[in-house]
Structure 1
Amino acid sequence: MLRSPSRRGALALPLLLVPGARAAAARLPAEVPPFPAWVGRTALLNGDGGAARVLLAADGGGVMSVKLFLFCRTVPIMRWEQGADGLLLRYARPSVLDARRVIEGEAEILPGRRELRWVEARAHLAEFEGFAAPDAAGRCG
């Protein structure tokens, strides 16, 4: 027979989750590293427009995978250049919906936060979730 949890047990349950939550938060960077630290590593982003993985290559190209709803599209980054402070990135890539259309975008690291502001057709916020291996850029999950 199932018993309902005691009041004390019900109140203590959230405390059991705190160490795990604290450990997960400790693995996330406190701030987004400047764009020079992104070269050769896949950045994991989760934003209001979907999830993305971005790999900037040293030759000025790269790869971006974008997950929107149920589909995943991987497109090349045709070119990118960073601002002098390493906090601004301008790039060009094909549209994930129409490869004939070129998207000119801009990303800005928001200092003191784990977020970036992406501007393509409109502005988006994306949370930086860390880095993965370079080969993770070509897939969404």
Structure 2
Amino acid sequence: MSFNNLDQLYRQVIMDHYKNPRNRGTLEGDVMSVNMNNPTCGDRIQLQLQVEEGTVTDAKFDGEGCSISLASASMMTQAVKGKSIDEAVKMSGAFSDLMQGKDIDEDIDFGDIQALQGVSKFPARIKCATLPWKAMEKGVDEQ
């Protein structure tokens, strides 16, 4: 597959998650909830995780922002479901490395998240992509 075709495919994946976000909404009951925003561009996210016995059993988000931040939130909530908190935090660190153009652990299956790799070429947009991941890290740290 050529670079242009791959780039187009990645754009389609990002737009699909933006237009048809997975896990958008709110959770009821005892959940970890974090609100974060990116004052530079106005993105804001409310992330909720339901954690039972150290495992993320459900994840939802709500908020406003650009296609990159909302697509990233959609992808992240899908990716962390069923993972232990430690696995989710490890994935978040690897995602941060991906956004900075660093080599990442081959053992981590990013799935659709790989589509955000091109964001690393646009430093001003990295904060958009990492906002939901930073919200998760903040929530775990505060718990």
TM-score norm. by structure 2 comes to 0.29
TM-score norm. by structure 1 comes to 0.29
Task: Answer with 1 or 2: which has the greater Rg.
Answer: 1
| Structure with more strand by fraction | 1
